[in-house]
Amino acid sequence: MSALRNEHLSYSRLSRFEACPLSYRLHYLDKHTAEPGVPLSFGKALHAVLERLLQEVIDTEYAGALSEERALQLYREAWAASGLSGLDLFQQGLGILQDFVRQQGRVDSRDILAVEKEFRLPVGPFTVLGFIDRVDWVDEETIAVIDYKSNHQLFTREELDSSLQLSLYALAARRMWPWAKKVRLSMWMLRHGVRQETTRTEEQLDAALAYVETLGQQMEKAESFPARLNPNCVYCDHRRNCPAYAQALEGQRDVVCEDTSDLESVARERQEVAHLAKILGARKAELEGVLRAHLAEQVELVLAGTRYRMFNTTSLDYPLEPTVAVLARATGLSREELMQRLASVEKKALDALLKDAGKRLGSARAALLKAELDSL
Protein backbone atom coordinates (compact mmCIF):
# COMPACT_ATOMS: atom_id res chain seq x y z
CA MET A 1 0.00 0.00 0.00
CA SER A 2 2.95 2.34 0.60
CA ALA A 3 3.60 2.42 -3.17
CA LEU A 4 0.21 3.99 -3.80
CA ARG A 5 -0.09 7.73 -4.37
CA ASN A 6 -3.14 7.79 -2.08
CA GLU A 7 -2.63 6.13 1.28
CA HIS A 8 -6.37 5.64 1.29
CA LEU A 9 -9.40 6.65 -0.72
CA SER A 10 -12.47 8.42 0.55
CA TYR A 11 -15.67 9.75 -0.93
CA SER A 12 -14.24 13.26 -0.60
CA ARG A 13 -11.12 12.35 -2.58
CA LEU A 14 -13.07 10.51 -5.24
CA SER A 15 -15.68 13.23 -5.70
CA ARG A 16 -13.05 16.00 -5.77
CA PHE A 17 -11.10 14.17 -8.50
CA GLU A 18 -14.33 13.62 -10.45
CA ALA A 19 -15.34 17.27 -10.22
CA CYS A 20 -11.92 18.83 -10.83
CA PRO A 21 -8.57 17.02 -11.06
CA LEU A 22 -6.68 20.25 -10.33
CA SER A 23 -8.57 20.78 -7.08
CA TYR A 24 -7.74 17.19 -6.11
CA ARG A 25 -4.03 17.74 -6.85
CA LEU A 26 -3.85 21.01 -4.92
CA HIS A 27 -5.67 19.55 -1.93
CA TYR A 28 -4.33 16.01 -1.59
CA LEU A 29 -1.02 15.90 -3.48
CA ASP A 30 0.38 19.42 -3.13
CA LYS A 31 -1.35 19.81 0.26
CA HIS A 32 -2.19 23.48 -0.17
CA THR A 33 -3.93 25.10 2.77
CA ALA A 34 -7.67 24.96 2.15
CA GLU A 35 -9.85 28.06 2.41
CA PRO A 36 -13.27 26.59 3.22
CA GLY A 37 -16.16 28.82 2.27
CA VAL A 38 -19.15 29.74 4.39
CA PRO A 39 -21.41 26.85 3.23
CA LEU A 40 -18.81 24.24 4.20
CA SER A 41 -18.03 25.86 7.56
CA PHE A 42 -21.73 26.23 8.30
CA GLY A 43 -22.41 22.59 7.46
CA LYS A 44 -19.53 21.43 9.66
CA ALA A 45 -20.86 23.47 12.58
CA LEU A 46 -24.30 21.87 12.27
CA HIS A 47 -22.76 18.39 11.99
CA ALA A 48 -20.69 19.01 15.13
CA VAL A 49 -23.81 19.93 17.09
CA LEU A 50 -25.81 16.91 15.94
CA GLU A 51 -22.91 14.55 16.59
CA ARG A 52 -22.43 15.74 20.16
CA LEU A 53 -26.17 15.92 20.84
CA LEU A 54 -26.72 12.28 19.87
CA GLN A 55 -23.45 11.01 21.32
CA GLU A 56 -24.61 12.35 24.68
CA VAL A 57 -27.82 10.36 24.24
CA ILE A 58 -25.72 7.19 23.81
CA ASP A 59 -23.29 8.00 26.62
CA THR A 60 -26.05 8.68 29.16
CA GLU A 61 -28.32 5.85 27.93
CA TYR A 62 -31.04 8.47 27.55
CA ALA A 63 -34.58 7.94 26.27
CA GLY A 64 -36.91 10.87 25.68
CA ALA A 65 -37.15 14.13 23.77
CA LEU A 66 -33.99 15.97 22.73
CA SER A 67 -33.30 19.27 24.49
CA GLU A 68 -33.58 22.47 22.45
CA GLU A 69 -31.69 24.26 25.20
CA ARG A 70 -28.78 21.82 24.96
CA ALA A 71 -28.80 22.06 21.16
CA LEU A 72 -28.55 25.86 21.41
CA GLN A 73 -25.68 25.62 23.89
CA LEU A 74 -23.76 23.26 21.59
CA TYR A 75 -24.54 25.49 18.61
CA ARG A 76 -23.06 28.54 20.33
CA GLU A 77 -19.88 26.58 21.01
CA ALA A 78 -19.67 25.27 17.43
CA TRP A 79 -20.38 28.74 16.02
CA ALA A 80 -17.61 30.32 18.09
CA ALA A 81 -15.13 27.68 16.95
CA SER A 82 -16.13 27.94 13.28
CA GLY A 83 -15.17 31.57 12.67
CA LEU A 84 -18.55 32.24 11.07
CA SER A 85 -20.28 35.59 11.50
CA GLY A 86 -23.57 37.28 10.68
CA LEU A 87 -26.90 37.37 12.53
CA ASP A 88 -28.89 36.07 9.57
CA LEU A 89 -26.72 32.97 9.17
CA PHE A 90 -26.72 32.37 12.93
CA GLN A 91 -30.51 32.49 12.94
CA GLN A 92 -30.65 30.07 10.02
CA GLY A 93 -28.61 27.54 11.96
CA LEU A 94 -30.68 28.07 15.09
CA GLY A 95 -33.90 27.49 13.17
CA ILE A 96 -32.49 24.37 11.49
CA LEU A 97 -31.53 22.85 14.84
CA GLN A 98 -34.85 23.73 16.48
CA ASP A 99 -36.70 22.08 13.60
CA PHE A 100 -34.43 19.03 13.83
CA VAL A 101 -35.12 18.60 17.55
CA ARG A 102 -38.87 18.85 16.99
CA GLN A 103 -38.86 16.54 13.99
CA GLN A 104 -36.66 13.99 15.72
CA GLY A 105 -39.12 13.72 18.58
CA ARG A 106 -38.38 10.99 21.07
CA VAL A 107 -35.03 9.22 20.94
CA ASP A 108 -33.86 6.06 22.64
CA SER A 109 -30.16 5.35 23.05
CA ARG A 110 -30.83 1.67 22.34
CA ASP A 111 -31.98 2.56 18.82
CA ILE A 112 -28.86 4.53 17.86
CA LEU A 113 -26.21 2.06 16.78
CA ALA A 114 -23.52 4.60 15.93
CA VAL A 115 -22.74 8.28 15.53
CA GLU A 116 -19.90 9.50 13.27
CA LYS A 117 -18.93 5.86 12.74
CA GLU A 118 -15.56 5.30 11.07
CA PHE A 119 -15.23 2.54 8.48
CA ARG A 120 -12.44 1.08 6.35
CA LEU A 121 -13.69 -0.66 3.24
CA PRO A 122 -11.29 -2.80 1.13
CA VAL A 123 -11.75 -2.20 -2.61
CA GLY A 124 -9.21 -3.98 -4.78
CA PRO A 125 -5.75 -2.66 -3.82
CA PHE A 126 -7.30 0.31 -2.03
CA THR A 127 -8.88 1.02 1.32
CA VAL A 128 -11.78 3.46 1.40
CA LEU A 129 -11.88 5.42 4.66
CA GLY A 130 -15.04 7.22 5.70
CA PHE A 131 -17.39 8.27 8.48
CA ILE A 132 -21.15 7.70 8.61
CA ASP A 133 -23.07 10.45 10.40
CA ARG A 134 -25.53 8.09 12.05
CA VAL A 135 -26.84 4.50 11.99
CA ASP A 136 -30.17 3.55 13.61
CA TRP A 137 -31.69 0.19 14.48
CA VAL A 138 -35.06 -0.23 12.76
CA ASP A 139 -35.96 -3.84 13.44
CA GLU A 140 -34.27 -7.23 13.81
CA GLU A 141 -33.22 -7.29 10.16
CA THR A 142 -33.08 -3.61 9.18
CA ILE A 143 -30.79 -0.65 9.88
CA ALA A 144 -31.06 2.95 8.69
CA VAL A 145 -27.97 4.85 7.51
CA ILE A 146 -28.43 8.62 7.81
CA ASP A 147 -26.29 11.39 6.31
CA TYR A 148 -27.01 14.99 7.34
CA LYS A 149 -27.03 17.58 4.55
CA SER A 150 -27.34 21.38 4.83
CA ASN A 151 -27.84 21.86 1.06
CA HIS A 152 -30.27 24.50 -0.14
CA GLN A 153 -31.58 22.19 -2.88
CA LEU A 154 -33.19 18.79 -2.45
CA PHE A 155 -31.68 15.89 -4.38
CA THR A 156 -33.45 14.59 -7.44
CA ARG A 157 -34.52 10.95 -7.40
CA GLU A 158 -31.77 10.17 -9.94
CA GLU A 159 -29.10 11.86 -7.79
CA LEU A 160 -30.26 9.98 -4.71
CA ASP A 161 -30.40 6.59 -6.39
CA SER A 162 -26.96 7.02 -8.00
CA SER A 163 -25.13 8.63 -5.06
CA LEU A 164 -21.69 7.04 -4.71
CA GLN A 165 -21.49 8.27 -1.13
CA LEU A 166 -24.61 6.35 -0.11
CA SER A 167 -23.44 3.25 -1.99
CA LEU A 168 -20.18 3.29 -0.03
CA TYR A 169 -22.12 3.72 3.21
CA ALA A 170 -24.34 0.76 2.33
CA LEU A 171 -21.31 -1.45 1.64
CA ALA A 172 -19.62 -0.38 4.87
CA ALA A 173 -22.78 -0.84 6.95
CA ARG A 174 -23.25 -4.37 5.68
CA ARG A 175 -19.71 -5.25 6.78
CA MET A 176 -20.10 -3.68 10.23
CA TRP A 177 -23.60 -5.04 10.91
CA PRO A 178 -23.69 -8.32 8.95
CA TRP A 179 -26.94 -9.39 10.63
CA ALA A 180 -28.83 -6.61 8.84
CA LYS A 181 -30.54 -8.03 5.76
CA LYS A 182 -31.86 -4.59 4.77
CA VAL A 183 -30.06 -1.25 4.75
CA ARG A 184 -32.12 1.90 4.36
CA LEU A 185 -30.21 4.91 3.10
CA SER A 186 -31.28 8.50 3.63
CA MET A 187 -30.12 12.06 3.27
CA TRP A 188 -31.59 14.13 6.11
CA MET A 189 -32.04 17.52 4.41
CA LEU A 190 -31.73 19.80 7.41
CA ARG A 191 -32.95 23.00 5.75
CA HIS A 192 -36.09 21.27 4.52
CA GLY A 193 -36.80 18.90 7.40
CA VAL A 194 -37.07 16.05 4.89
CA ARG A 195 -35.44 12.62 4.86
CA GLN A 196 -34.90 11.54 1.27
CA GLU A 197 -34.64 7.75 1.25
CA THR A 198 -33.27 5.16 -1.15
CA THR A 199 -31.88 1.62 -1.19
CA ARG A 200 -29.31 -0.32 -3.21
CA THR A 201 -29.48 -3.62 -5.10
CA GLU A 202 -26.63 -6.12 -5.24
CA GLU A 203 -25.97 -5.07 -8.83
CA GLN A 204 -25.71 -1.40 -7.85
CA LEU A 205 -23.28 -2.18 -5.04
CA ASP A 206 -21.10 -4.32 -7.33
CA ALA A 207 -21.06 -1.48 -9.87
CA ALA A 208 -20.07 1.01 -7.15
CA LEU A 209 -17.13 -1.18 -6.09
CA ALA A 210 -15.94 -1.54 -9.69
CA TYR A 211 -16.27 2.20 -10.26
CA VAL A 212 -14.30 3.11 -7.11
CA GLU A 213 -11.47 0.76 -8.08
CA THR A 214 -11.41 2.14 -11.64
CA LEU A 215 -11.43 5.74 -10.42
CA GLY A 216 -8.74 4.92 -7.88
CA GLN A 217 -6.52 3.56 -10.63
CA GLN A 218 -7.11 6.72 -12.66
CA MET A 219 -6.03 8.81 -9.69
CA GLU A 220 -2.87 6.72 -9.29
CA LYS A 221 -1.88 6.89 -12.96
CA ALA A 222 -2.87 10.49 -13.73
CA GLU A 223 0.00 12.58 -15.09
CA SER A 224 -1.94 15.79 -15.70
CA PHE A 225 -4.59 17.40 -13.53
CA PRO A 226 -6.62 19.85 -15.63
CA ALA A 227 -8.98 22.35 -14.03
CA ARG A 228 -12.62 21.65 -14.79
CA LEU A 229 -14.80 24.75 -14.51
CA ASN A 230 -18.22 24.10 -13.06
CA PRO A 231 -20.85 26.04 -11.05
CA ASN A 232 -19.31 24.85 -7.76
CA CYS A 233 -16.02 26.65 -8.47
CA VAL A 234 -17.26 29.58 -6.38
CA TYR A 235 -17.27 27.29 -3.32
CA CYS A 236 -13.93 25.56 -4.01
CA ASP A 237 -11.47 25.88 -1.13
CA HIS A 238 -8.56 26.23 -3.61
CA ARG A 239 -10.06 28.67 -6.09
CA ARG A 240 -7.43 31.32 -5.32
CA ASN A 241 -4.70 29.00 -6.63
CA CYS A 242 -6.61 28.03 -9.77
CA PRO A 243 -5.58 29.68 -13.07
CA ALA A 244 -8.86 28.64 -14.72
CA TYR A 245 -10.85 30.37 -11.97
CA ALA A 246 -8.72 33.52 -12.34
CA GLN A 247 -9.36 33.49 -16.08
CA ALA A 248 -13.07 33.04 -15.45
CA LEU A 249 -13.07 36.14 -13.24
CA GLU A 250 -11.50 37.98 -16.15
CA GLY A 251 -14.29 36.73 -18.43
CA GLN A 252 -12.03 34.62 -20.62
CA ARG A 253 -13.84 31.99 -22.64
CA ASP A 254 -12.89 28.85 -24.57
CA VAL A 255 -16.10 28.13 -26.46
CA VAL A 256 -17.73 30.59 -28.90
CA CYS A 257 -20.50 29.31 -31.15
CA GLU A 258 -20.17 30.87 -34.61
CA ASP A 259 -22.91 28.79 -36.20
CA THR A 260 -26.12 28.83 -34.16
CA SER A 261 -27.57 26.06 -36.31
CA ASP A 262 -25.01 23.75 -34.66
CA LEU A 263 -27.00 22.92 -31.52
CA GLU A 264 -24.16 20.94 -29.93
CA SER A 265 -21.96 24.04 -30.15
CA VAL A 266 -24.81 26.21 -28.86
CA ALA A 267 -25.23 23.94 -25.86
CA ARG A 268 -21.48 23.90 -25.07
CA GLU A 269 -21.23 27.68 -25.17
CA ARG A 270 -24.41 28.08 -23.15
CA GLN A 271 -22.99 25.75 -20.47
CA GLU A 272 -19.70 27.65 -20.31
CA VAL A 273 -21.49 31.02 -20.15
CA ALA A 274 -23.74 29.72 -17.36
CA HIS A 275 -20.71 28.60 -15.35
CA LEU A 276 -18.94 31.92 -15.88
CA ALA A 277 -22.09 33.87 -14.97
CA LYS A 278 -22.35 32.05 -11.65
CA ILE A 279 -18.66 32.56 -10.89
CA LEU A 280 -18.78 36.27 -11.77
CA GLY A 281 -22.06 36.75 -9.91
CA ALA A 282 -20.60 35.25 -6.74
CA ARG A 283 -17.50 37.42 -7.07
CA LYS A 284 -19.67 40.51 -7.57
CA ALA A 285 -21.60 39.69 -4.39
CA GLU A 286 -18.31 39.18 -2.51
CA LEU A 287 -17.00 42.58 -3.64
CA GLU A 288 -20.28 44.30 -2.83
CA GLY A 289 -20.08 42.86 0.67
CA VAL A 290 -16.69 44.51 1.16
CA LEU A 291 -18.04 47.88 0.00
CA ARG A 292 -21.15 47.59 2.19
CA ALA A 293 -18.98 46.91 5.22
CA HIS A 294 -17.08 50.19 4.62
CA LEU A 295 -20.29 52.12 3.86
CA ALA A 296 -21.61 51.12 7.25
CA GLU A 297 -18.93 53.41 8.69
CA GLN A 298 -18.87 56.12 5.99
CA VAL A 299 -21.65 58.03 4.29
CA GLU A 300 -20.09 57.83 0.84
CA LEU A 301 -17.22 56.29 -1.10
CA VAL A 302 -15.83 57.57 -4.40
CA LEU A 303 -13.74 54.86 -6.01
CA ALA A 304 -12.60 54.28 -9.59
CA GLY A 305 -14.78 57.12 -10.78
CA THR A 306 -17.95 55.71 -9.21
CA ARG A 307 -19.88 57.10 -6.23
CA TYR A 308 -21.20 54.56 -3.72
CA ARG A 309 -23.82 55.31 -1.07
CA MET A 310 -26.30 53.26 0.96
CA PHE A 311 -29.98 54.05 0.49
CA ASN A 312 -33.09 52.84 2.24
CA THR A 313 -35.50 51.50 -0.35
CA THR A 314 -39.20 50.81 -0.13
CA SER A 315 -41.32 48.50 -2.21
CA LEU A 316 -44.94 49.32 -3.02
CA ASP A 317 -47.43 46.46 -2.82
CA TYR A 318 -50.99 46.73 -4.09
CA PRO A 319 -53.81 44.97 -2.19
CA LEU A 320 -54.53 41.83 -4.21
CA GLU A 321 -58.31 41.50 -4.46
CA PRO A 322 -59.22 45.20 -4.97
CA THR A 323 -56.44 45.59 -7.56
CA VAL A 324 -57.58 42.54 -9.51
CA ALA A 325 -61.18 43.75 -9.41
CA VAL A 326 -60.25 47.20 -10.79
CA LEU A 327 -58.09 45.69 -13.53
CA ALA A 328 -60.77 43.18 -14.48
CA ARG A 329 -63.31 45.97 -14.98
CA ALA A 330 -60.85 48.16 -16.90
CA THR A 331 -59.25 45.52 -19.15
CA GLY A 332 -61.97 42.93 -19.56
CA LEU A 333 -59.52 40.20 -18.57
CA SER A 334 -60.76 37.42 -16.28
CA ARG A 335 -59.67 37.09 -12.68
CA GLU A 336 -57.80 33.86 -13.54
CA GLU A 337 -55.83 35.57 -16.33
CA LEU A 338 -54.92 38.49 -14.10
CA MET A 339 -53.87 36.23 -11.23
CA GLN A 340 -51.65 34.20 -13.55
CA ARG A 341 -49.91 37.32 -14.87
CA LEU A 342 -49.61 39.34 -11.65
CA ALA A 343 -49.77 37.16 -8.57
CA SER A 344 -46.86 35.48 -6.80
CA VAL A 345 -46.16 34.42 -3.23
CA GLU A 346 -43.45 36.20 -1.23
CA LYS A 347 -41.04 33.67 0.28
CA LYS A 348 -40.74 35.13 3.79
CA ALA A 349 -44.51 35.32 4.16
CA LEU A 350 -44.82 31.74 2.93
CA ASP A 351 -42.16 30.50 5.35
CA ALA A 352 -43.96 32.21 8.24
CA LEU A 353 -47.25 30.62 7.21
CA LEU A 354 -45.68 27.16 6.93
CA LYS A 355 -44.10 27.55 10.36
CA ASP A 356 -47.50 28.30 11.88
CA ALA A 357 -49.16 25.51 9.90
CA GLY A 358 -46.53 23.06 11.11
CA LYS A 359 -47.87 23.35 14.64
CA ARG A 360 -51.21 22.00 13.45
CA LEU A 361 -50.12 19.61 10.70
CA GLY A 362 -47.16 18.06 12.46
CA SER A 363 -43.54 18.29 11.39
CA ALA A 364 -43.63 15.42 8.89
CA ARG A 365 -46.67 16.68 6.95
CA ALA A 366 -45.38 20.27 7.07
CA ALA A 367 -41.99 19.17 5.71
CA LEU A 368 -43.60 17.32 2.83
CA LEU A 369 -45.78 20.34 2.07
CA LYS A 370 -42.73 22.62 2.02
CA ALA A 371 -40.84 20.22 -0.25
CA GLU A 372 -43.80 20.18 -2.66
CA LEU A 373 -43.96 23.99 -2.70
CA ASP A 374 -40.19 24.27 -3.19
CA SER A 375 -40.47 22.05 -6.26
CA LEU A 376 -42.71 24.71 -7.84
**Beta-carbon count within 10 A of 327 CB:** 17
Residue extents of the structural domains in the chain: 35-221, 253-309, 320-374
Amino acid 363: pLDDT = 66
Domain made up of 35-221: CATH architecture:
Alpha-Beta Complex (3.90)
- The DSSP line for 60-97 is TT-EEEPPHHHHHHHHHHHHHHHT---HHHHHHHHHHH
Reported pTM: 0.73
* Helix, coil or strand: residue 268: helix
- The angle formed by the CA atoms of residues 48, 22 and 213, to the nearest 5 degrees, is 75
Write the Ramachandran bin of 274: left for phi over 0, alpha for psi from -120 to 50, otherwise beta.
alpha
Q: Is the dihedral of CA 43, 49, 53, 56 positive or negative?
A: positive
Q: Is the dihedral of CA 134, 138, 144, 150 positive or negative?
A: negative
Q: What is the DSSP letter of 66?
A: P
pLDDT in 10s for each residue of the chain, 376 residues: 446 788 899 999 999 999 999 999 999 999 998 888 888 999 999 999 999 999 999 999 999 999 999 999 999 999 999 999 999 999 999 999 999 999 999 999 999 999 999 999 999 999 999 999 999 999 999 999 999 999 988 999 999 999 999 999 999 999 999 999 999 999 999 999 899 999 999 999 999 999 999 999 999 999 999 998 877 788 888 988 889 888 888 877 778 888 888 888 888 888 878 877 877 877 787 788 788 878 877 888 888 888 888 877 666 678 888 888 888 888 888 888 888 888 888 777 777 787 777 777 776 677 777 777 776 6
Contact indicator for 278, 234 with CB cutoff of 8 Å: yes
Strands (E), the chain: 63-65, 106-108, 112-123, 126-139, 142-149, 182-189, 194-198, 300-303, 306-309
